[in-house]
């Protein structure tokens, strides 16, 4: 298993879990306590700091692997295809998420405002799952050392 596969596998479980827990906490808090500017600011600061923490880890990893070649042409093609698959997956999910409530309650009906962040969190989860699965499937298809895909590229 190479580094991209490991990342995809970790991403497949970690990202949906993180998005579901973080988003669930936010939705629950606003639902129970009501909207508040102070809490919104605290949440934004927390999200920014968490983002910077991940960025710091990424930069550290990059520094360590400065002179090593870990990403070749084949990996790049696989990642591009996976990102495109994720993008298509998000659109399909989004169509479903917008049409199904209409179909269930009718156009004159109302839905809780909580559905908006839930749709957003669902989109993040859908993208991570589709992208990670696309990476794993493509590496699985290309064999242990990627012979089939390399032949296709040639």
Partner 1 sequence: MSRLQKAAWFNLAMITICIIISIPCIFFLARENAKGIEYLLTCFVMACLVSPVAYVLLKKKSFETGFDEREKMINRRAFTISALCLIIFLACVCTIPFFVLGGQNVIKVYYLPLIFFCSIFTAQFAHSTAILIQCTLEEEDGQ
Residues that bind partner 1 (CB under 8 A): 27, 30-32, 34-35, 40, 87, 94-95, 97-99, 101-103, 105-117, 119-120, 123
At closest approach, how far in Å is the CB of 147 from partner 1? 26
In the complex with partner 1, which residue's Cβ is closer, 66 or 103? 103
CB atoms within 10 A of CB 116: 11
CA distance 35 to 152: 54
In the complex with partner 1, which residue's Cβ is closer, 1 or 105? 105
At closest approach, how far in Å is the CB of 77 from partner 1? 13
User: What is the gyration radius of the CA atoms in the chain, in angstroms?
Assistant: 20
CA distance 17 to 20: 5
In the complex with partner 1, which residue's Cβ is closer, 32 or 69? 32
Residues in the chain: 154
At closest approach, how far in Å is the CB of 6 from partner 1? 25
In the complex with partner 1, which residue's Cβ is closer, 67 or 108? 108
CA distance 45 to 122: 22
At closest approach, how far in Å is the CB of 144 from partner 1? 30
CA dihedral (48, 51, 56, 59) positive or negative: negative
């Amino acid at each position: 298993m190479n580094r991209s596969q490991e990342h995809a596998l970790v991403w497949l479980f970690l990202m949906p879990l993180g998005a579901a827990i973080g988003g669930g906490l936010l939705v629950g808090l606003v639902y129970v306590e009501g909207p508040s500017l102070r809490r919104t600011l605290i949440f934004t600061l927390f999200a920014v700091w968490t983002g910077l923490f991940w960025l710091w880890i990424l930069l550290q990893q990059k520094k360590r692997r400065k002179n090593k070649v870990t990403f070749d042409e084949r990996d790049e093609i696989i990642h591009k295809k996976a990102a495109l698959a994720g993008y298509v997956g998000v659109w399909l999910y989004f169509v479903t998420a917008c049409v199904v409530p209409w179909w269930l309650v009718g156009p004159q009906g109302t839905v809780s405002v909580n559905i908006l962040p839930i749709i957003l969190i669902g989109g993040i989860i859908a993208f991570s799952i589709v992208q990670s699965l696309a990476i794993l499937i493509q590496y699985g298809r290309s064999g242990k050392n990627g012979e089939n895909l390399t032949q296709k590229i040639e």
